[in-house]
Amino acid sequence: MGIDQDEISTETTTLGELLVAENIGSQHRKVVKALYKALARKDTSTTSELVAPDLEWWFHGPRHCQHMMRTLTGELRHVEFKFRPRSITPVGDRVVAEGWEGSKAYWAHVWSVKEGMITQLREYFNTWVTVIVGNSEVEDEMMKLWQSDPRERSQRSLPDIVLAI
């Protein structure tokens, strides 16, 4: 049984597309990592260069936990809350970061980056997040791309949310 040369060309193109996507994901991860570093240094100049002025923001969690938006808008200048990501992972065309502050606050951020600038933030506080992608070719087929890993999950109940991208 022979190998069809058209199949090889298609596979090479697909591999090339995957490599480009992986490289873009890596670049987006660097942008998000740079943002967390700028926030830790309280470097407002770098922060404003990385975040679009019309950032789209969505929040799920207790209202008093809207720390990132308060930080980005400058509403809280002396923030006690510190975002120290435990992981920063490219997932599809987004970047997911998660971490804890103390023993009671678990957070996950889902960032969208376009042309080196952060354009969207979905912020989840004390919420178990699962990111999935649907297969448009196969109805009802979903693939899990990422899932929260809050260290205290077994000790308390967290609401679950599924983000389809």
Residue range 80-111, pLDDT digits in tens = 778 889 999 998 789 999 888 766 778 889 99
Confidence of residue 6 (pLDDT cuts 50, 70, 90): very low
pLDDT at 160 over 70: no
Residue with tokens 């193109």: 13
How do beta strands 142-147 and 128-134 pair?
antiparallel
Structural domain contains residue 118:
yes
pLDDT at 155 over 90: no
Structural contact between residues 81 and 73, judged by C-beta atoms closer than 8 angstroms: no
Structural domain for 27, as ranges: 5-125
Q: Which residue has the higher pLDDT, 118 or 64?
A: 118
Structural domain contains residue 109:
yes
- Give the DSSP letter of residue 17: H
* Number of domains within the chain: 1
Bridge-partner residues for 111, per DSSP? Answer: 95, 121
Work out the average pLDDT over 121-143. 69
Structural domain contains residue 146:
no
**Element (H or E) spanning 114, and its range?**
strand 105-114
Name, in order, each residue with C-beta under 8 angstroms of 125's C-beta and a sequence gap of 6 or more: 59, 60, 61, 62, 65, 105, 106, 107
What CATH number does the domain containing 41 carry?
Answer: 3.10.450.50
Structural domain contains residue 42:
yes
Please give the backbone phi and psi of residue 101, each rounded to the nearest 5 degrees, phi first. -130, 110
pLDDT at 19 over 60: no
Q: What is the mean pLDDT of the chain?
A: 76
Work out the average pLDDT over 48-68. 90
Count of CB atoms situated within 10 Å of the CB of 15: 10
Q: How many helices (H) and strands (E) does the chain have?
A: 3, 8
Structural domain contains residue 23:
yes
Structural domain contains residue 154:
no
Count of CB atoms situated within 10 Å of the CB of 5: 8
